[in-house]
Amino acid sequence: MSTSMLSDDEKRQNRRTGLTLLSIAAVFFAGVVVKYWLLA
């Protein structure tokens, strides 16, 4: 598995996928925090 030969399109796709996963994780985390904060 070599990551040194990525084209620009692949780098852009990887960054887009990473940002998508990060935003989903952030929304999920925020939802859990708000839920516990409201229940506290």
Task: Indicate whether 1 pLDDT > 60.
Answer: no
Compute how many other C-beta atoms are within 10 angstroms of the C-beta atom of residue 38. Answer: 7
What band does 3 get if pLDDT is binned at 50, 70 and 90? low
pLDDT score of 20: 97
pLDDT score of 2: 59
Residues 6+ apart with CB under 8 A from 14: 6
pLDDT score of 6: 77
- How far is the C-alpha of 34 from the C-alpha of 14, rounded, in Å? 30
Global pTM value: 0.63
- Interval 12-32: pLDDT, tens: 999 999 999 999 999 999 999
